[in-house]
Amino acid sequence: MKFGAHVSIRHPIHMAIDRAVAIGCECLQIFVGSPRQWREIVYAEDDLDRFIEKRRKAKLDPLVAHTAYLINLGAQDMELYRKSTGALIYALRGIDRLEGLGAITHLGSRGGQSWEGALNRVTAALTVALEATERAMILVEHNVGAGGLIGGTFEELAEVLERMDHHPRIGVCLDSCHLFASGWDIRTAKGVNATLGVFDRIVGLRHLRALHLNDSKTALGSKVDRHENIGEGQIGREGFRALVNHPRLRRLGAFIETPHFSADVPDKKNLDLLKRLRTKGPGPASIRGGKRSKQVRSR
Nearer to Zn ion (CB atom), residue 172 or residue 189: 172
Annotation marks residue 175 as catalytic: yes
Nearer to Zn ion (CB atom), residue 64 or residue 196: 64
Q: How far is the CB of 178 from Zn ion (least distance, A)?
A: 6
208-213 and 227-228 strand pairing: unpaired
Q: CA-to-CA distance for 5 and 16, rounded, in angstroms?
A: 11
- 215 lines the binding site for Zn ion (CB under 5 A): no
Q: Which of 123, 106, 104 is nearest to 28 (CA)?
A: 104
Angle between helices 264-279 and 15-22 (to 10 degrees): 50
Annotation marks residue 47 as catalytic: no
How many residues can be counted in the chain? 299
Annotation marks residue 96 as catalytic: no
For the chain, the helix, strand and coil percentages under 3-state DSSP, each to the nearest 5 = 45, 15, 40
Q: How far is the CB of 19 from Zn ion (least distance, A)?
A: 19
Q: How far is the CB of 97 from Zn ion (least distance, A)?
A: 21
Buried/exposed 44-65: b ≥16 CB within 10 Å, e otherwise: eeeebebbbebbeeeebbbbbb
Q: Choose, from 40, 47, 50, 69, the residue flagged as catalytic.
A: 69
Q: How far is the CB of 5 from Zn ion (least distance, A)?
A: 13
Annotation marks residue 207 as catalytic: no
Annotation marks residue 36 as catalytic: yes
Q: How far is the CB of 247 from Zn ion (least distance, A)?
A: 25
Q: Is 103 exposed, middle or buried (0-12, 13-18, 19+ CB in 10 A)?
A: buried
Q: Choose, from 178, 209, 241, 278, the residue flagged as catalytic.
A: 178
Q: Choose, from 227, 241, 248, 278, the residue flagged as catalytic.
A: 227
End-to-end CA distance of the chain: 16
124-132, 136-144, 239-247, 288-296 -> range binding Zn ion (CB under 5 A): 136-144
114-122, 221-229, 231-239, 277-285 -> range binding Zn ion (CB under 5 A): 221-229
> Which one of residues 26, 141, 156, 267 is an interface residue with Zn ion (CB under 5 A)?
141
Q: How far is the CB of 143 from Zn ion (least distance, A)?
A: 7
Angle between helices 78-97 and 115-132 (to 10 degrees): 40
Annotation marks residue 43 as catalytic: no
Q: CA-to-CA distance for 275 and 24, rounded, in angstroms?
A: 10
Q: Choose, from 14, 209, 212, 246, the residue flagged as catalytic.
A: 212
- 225 lines the binding site for Zn ion (CB under 5 A): yes
Nearer to Zn ion (CB atom), residue 141 or residue 159: 141
Nearer to Zn ion (CB atom), residue 2 or residue 106: 106
Q: CA-to-CA distance for 24 and 292, rounded, in angstroms?
A: 30
Q: CA-to-CA distance for 188 and 90, rounded, in angstroms?
A: 39
Instruction: Enumerate the active-site residues.
Output: 36, 66, 69, 106, 141, 175, 178, 212, 225, 227, 257
List interacting residues with Zn ion (CB under 5 A). Answer: 141, 225
